[in-house]
Structure 1
Amino acid sequence: MEVILMIMFFTSFWVAVGKFGPILVTKGPHDDLVRCIFLLTAVVCWLFWLCCYLAQLNPLLGPKLNGHTIRIIAKSWGNPIKDG
């Protein structure tokens, strides 16, 4: 439940940045460019945050090796594991 609330909160934050950001800028000759910059910034920052947040929820871990496989790897690398 906390995950969905966090995603909804940050999504609404970046939607607000994309929607109300261009309003805060004074009128000038490059209104369309500034509006485009705010929208792209909001989308890219939201996507970056979402990818980082979701990657932390399900981290990629290495394979879990059993003891026999670890001994074979250690022996092939030249440092055998001593039992005991």
Structure 2
Amino acid sequence: MADENAPDAAADETPAPQPSPLPPPSDVTIPKEEQYYTPIFIITATFGALFIILPLIVRKGPYKGWVTIYISQMNPLLGPRMRNTTVAWLAHKIGNPAKPASIGETDTNKS
């Protein structure tokens, strides 16, 4: 005989919480700031993989050093080229305003 005061076994079992389904891809919004970083991450990962794997693939010989040096020189040697107005604006924005040089302070007047 079953005890009438004992709770039913079915009453003790509560359904397990279901994980919430992921929203459809059309509902996922990426913040605008993060959208600009995606191409940078992809390009960095691609070139990083090439720069690490390519020197390992090239057999030991006269060209191994050449490949390594060539890969390391892929960026321009002179860096970005900016107009004077751009440099002055950047200096102003970081709090270091450029001071105009007087005629006597130019490099061409050195003796």
Length-normalised TM-score, structure 2 = 0.33
Larger fraction in helix:
1
Higher RCO, Cα 8 Å, sep 6+: 1
Length-normalised TM-score, structure 1 = 0.42
